[in-house]
Every structure is written in structure tokens, then in C-alpha cells.
Chain A
Amino acid sequence: GEDVEQSLFLSVREGDSSVINCTYTDSSSTYLYWYKQEPGAGLQLLTYIFSNMDMKQDQRLTVLLNKKDKHLSLRIADTQTGDSAIYFCAVLEGGGNKLTFGTGTQLKVEL
């Protein structure tokens, strides 16, 4: 089955850019998602990209997809303390009824 991996922690200074990386194994994946989870809360959909795209930009968020390397990244520009949370990469398998999540990257934004 699909395997999705993320690094566990990332620490950045306020105002810097953050880049969160994700790798996956299923080349037939169709949609790839980024979710944000704050302590004790559910998942907030940040953005998603279709597998035939290389890049998607949405305000401070930029998603890059390298389909050849099965690598997805989320760049947050001008990172703020309110961006501190756990970020999950999720991949929709080909066939389309199951999201496979990574273990999440905890982003800590320091003043």
C-alpha cells in the first residue's frame, strides 16, 4: 500500500519561510493534500494539488510537486507564530477513496 513520510520537526524564526517536505510511494496518486492541525483540534484543509500540476500558489502557501521523485513540499512565506501546528501531507490513492497520511511535521515558530 501507499507509504507517506515526513520529517517530524521543523523550527523557524518568525518572518522566515518554512518548507515542509513529504515523500510518497504510489505513482498513481491523484490528489495530494496539506492539512494543518492545532492542539486538540481537527484537520484544517490548507491546499491541495492535482497530480498533473507542478506548482500551486495560494496566498502565503506554495505547493511544489515533483512527480518523478514522488516528492511534495509546502512552503509558507513570512511564517507567523499562528502557523505553529502539526502539518500533515495526505495522498489520495489512484482509484480515489482513501487518503493516506504522513505522521505529520510539527512546525515551531520562534520569535
Chain B
Amino acid sequence: ETGVTQSPTHLIKTRGQQVTLRCSSQSGHNTVSWYQQALGQGPQFIFQYYREEENGRGNFPPRFSGLQFPNYSSELNVNALELDDSALYLCASEGGDGYTFGSGTRLTVV
């Protein structure tokens, strides 16, 4: 059983809307990362948070933003959704024994 839970599991949004995806990590895991996995591809790094501060960012525009909270939960926010944002969004936490991923949120933008 994974220690990382994500919600919702599926989501449909309209182009131009905003979306918030949520992740709950294991207690004590201070590092959380978000990845985007387009269909048929490997996951791409969006950004990482460590102790509530951004700790690295991939090649994603500023309309992708995040937050990490003291209770080991985090959020990924995407503004002005585009059709190409349709993907599986994965959250991963790291607690000294490798990066553990959640089951992801499947976002469809129409």
C-alpha cells in the first residue's frame, strides 16, 4: 500500500479554467515532487518542495504553481488550462528510501 494519496482520481476541465490537485504524503516525508505524464511518455518533473519551499523546477511555465503544507500535504495548481495539459499528474514523496509515487490524477482538458 502506497503512503502517498492523491485526489481526485479523475477530473475534466474546460480550456482556460483553473485546477487544483491534491497530494497527501507520509508523515515525516519533507520532500514532495510533482510530475506530469502525457500519454505514452515517461513522467516529466514539474517542481519539488522541501519544507514548504520550492526546491527546483522543471521546464514548465509559471501557470503551474504549488504549495506544501506543514501537515505533509501539497497542492499543484494550474491556471489557464490548455488542451496539452491533459495528462496523468503524479505526486511523489521521499523519506530516505526512494521516491514513492501516488496513483495520480488523470486530468482531461476539453
Residues of A within 8 A of B (CB): 4, 31, 33, 35, 41-45, 48, 88, 90, 97-104
Contact = CB atoms under 8 A, between A and B. Distances in A.
B102 A42 contact: yes
**How many interface residues does chain B have, given as a range?**
20 to 34
B78 interface: no
Closest 10 CB pairs of A and B: A101-B42, A42-B103, A97-B56, A43-B101, A42-B104, A98-B45, A97-B48, A48-B98, A42-B101, A101-B43
A4 B42 CA distance: 10
Interface of B: 2, 6, 31, 33, 35, 40-45, 48, 50, 55-56, 58, 88, 90, 92, 98-104
Contacts of A4: 42
Nearest to B48: A97
A41 B99 contact: no
Nearest to A6: B42
Contacts of A88: 42-43
A99 B41 contact: no
